[in-house]
Amino acid sequence: MTSIPSISLLFVLAMCAVLWAAAPAAPQGKRGIQKLSFGQLPDGQAVDLYVLTNQTGMCVKVMTYGGIITELHVPDRQGVPGDVVLGFDRLEDYLKGHPYFGAITGRVANRIAKAAFTLDGKNYTLAVNNGPNALHGGIRGFDKALWNAVATESREGLSVKMTYVSVDGEEGYPGNLTSTVVYTLTDHNELKIHYQAETDAPTPINLTNHSYFNLAGAEKGNVLQHTLKLNSSFYTPVDAGLIPTGEILKVEGTPLDFRTARAFGERISQLKPNPGGYDHNFVLDGPDGIMKPAAEVYDPGSGRLLEVATTEPGIQVYSGNFLQGDIRGKKGIAYGQHAGFCLETQHYPDSIHHPHFPNSVLRPGSVYRQTTLFRFRTR
């Protein structure tokens, strides 16, 4: 005869079987680094893809063209992995041109007004690629360079170290500049990006990564329901051409106040002038040059939480305003307006024209360093 305790035991066993079956799929790859071929540039040079997988199954893919992060798989609150960055499946699509998906931007990220500056009494004219201005390093910025890469493993995690030598005069910039960018994936679901550079002549520099995140998953519509929290009390206003006016204003009482978490979409229509959404440099509270919390983004649907810390004085919050649905990304999905957000840790845009902004000039004998950490958790 079946006793009551054994019925409950059977019930518990049955529930365990159901939960087991519903448990997240095992991580795709084993912990380690894989180097794969990702195709060829039109001149025949090979492009490699480095796949870093940590012990929890989080995986980041970075290619040597543009140092571009092509995929970033992180678990949601059920433990199910999802790719949280916008991009393409094939190199050919990146080569056709795109708005800096996942790329390293440099030599100077964001805009330099009128694509010209004077440094130590010398005038420099840069490649023009955004109205009358220079944007993200010019026509052939670091996002289009072929980087040399080596894979390394340390106690900190799995790394790929990329190096690129930008020669004197490239896109109009002075000095031979050697830059290294190290992407490290830790076993604590953190992606650390460390940038370092040296030059043989004074040059402005501002390196960052231009990943577009969608914490629900790259194919899941827009990010307007994600909440953003910023460690920032001030911002640098811009004119109609998105060039800083030189002012540093309080966020208090404006739709730029993210000192407590607010959804991207909540006040986006109140922005004045409205460049179609957020595209602002926020001044980070706390000292420049040492790691400090910068931003937190949370997607209530998936439970994914992204925390960003950086050594940089500023962060460009860009809500994918210029995505218009005409670019078909991974799996052929059209990326519409606000399909992703960028958190570009940086020196303030156009710093070279504003001596009261933190210095962005690198001189021979000095080393440029910036570190940014993207940590993924769930709630």
Ranges of H-type helices in 223-312: none
**Residue span binding ligand BGC (CB under 6 A) among the ranges 80-88, 160-168, 249-257, 316-324:** 316-324
Name the residue nearer to ligand BGC (CB basis): 185 or 306. 306
**According to the binding rule CB under 6 A, does residue 372 interact with ligand BGC?**
no
**According to the binding rule CB under 6 A, does residue 143 interact with ligand BGC?**
no
Site mask, ligand BGC, residues 28-47, x = CB under 6 A? --------------------
Q: What is the Cα–Cα distance from 162 to 111, expressed in whole angstroms?
A: 24
* Cβ neighbours of residue 219 closer than 8 Å, sequence gap 6 or more: 329, 330, 331, 333
DSSP string, 67-100: T-EEEEEEE-TTS-EEE-B---SSHHHHHT--S-
Contacting ligand BGC within 122-141 (CB under 6 A)? none
Q: Which residue is nearest to ligand BGC (CB)?
A: 99
Cα–Cα distances (Å) from 159 to 71, 179, 192, 348, in that order, read: 15, 16, 9, 28
Name the residue nearer to ligand BGC (CB basis): 48 or 279. 279
Q: How far is the CB of 311 from ligand BGC (least distance, A)?
A: 19
Name the residue nearer to ligand BGC (CB basis): 187 or 239. 239
Q: What is the Cα–Cα distance from 156 to 54, expressed in whole angstroms?
A: 11
**Residue span binding ligand BGC (CB under 6 A) among the ranges 19-27, 83-91, 183-191, 314-322:** 314-322
Binding residue for ligand BGC, selected from 88, 94, 100, 117, defined by CB under 6 A? 100
Token pair, residue 37, equals 């071929």
Cα–Cα distances (Å) from 301 to 210, 238, 311, in that order, read: 24, 33, 30
Name the residue nearer to ligand BGC (CB basis): 76 or 143. 143
Name the residue nearer to ligand BGC (CB basis): 50 or 94. 94
Number of residues that bind ligand BGC (CB under 6 A): 9
Q: How far is the CB of 282 from ligand BGC (least distance, A)?
A: 12
**According to the binding rule CB under 6 A, does residue 279 interact with ligand BGC?**
yes
**Burial class of 258 by CB neighbour count within 10 A (0 to 12, 13 to 18, 19+):** buried
**Residue 145 — φ and ψ, nearest 5°?**
-85, 155
Binding residue for ligand BGC, selected from 171, 296, 344, 350, defined by CB under 6 A? 344
Name the residue nearer to ligand BGC (CB basis): 38 or 278. 278
Name the residue nearer to ligand BGC (CB basis): 110 or 310. 110
Q: At 123, is the secondary structure helix, strand, or coil?
A: strand
Q: What is the Cα–Cα distance from 343 to 345, expressed in whole angstroms?
A: 6
**According to the binding rule CB under 6 A, does residue 66 interact with ligand BGC?**
no
Token pair 């409205």 is found at 274
Q: How far is the CB of 364 from ligand BGC (least distance, A)?
A: 28
**According to the binding rule CB under 6 A, does residue 110 interact with ligand BGC?**
yes
**According to the binding rule CB under 6 A, does residue 315 interact with ligand BGC?**
no
Binding residue for ligand BGC, selected from 322, 325, 331, 366, defined by CB under 6 A? 322
**According to the binding rule CB under 6 A, does residue 99 interact with ligand BGC?**
yes
Q: Which residues are catalytic?
A: 210, 344
Query: At CA 303, angle to CA 328 and CA 313, rounded to 5?
Result: 75
Strand partners, 375: 190, 307
Which sign, positive or negative, has the C-alpha torsion 129, 164, 279, 97? positive
**Residue span binding ligand BGC (CB under 6 A) among the ranges 152-160, 257-265, 315-323, 356-364:** 315-323
CB 145 within 8 A of CB 66: yes
CB 267 within 8 A of CB 228: no
Name the residue nearer to ligand BGC (CB basis): 64 or 211. 211
Contacting ligand BGC within 209-268 (CB under 6 A)? 242
Q: Which residues bind ligand BGC (CB under 6 A)?
A: 99-100, 110, 242, 279, 316, 318, 322, 344
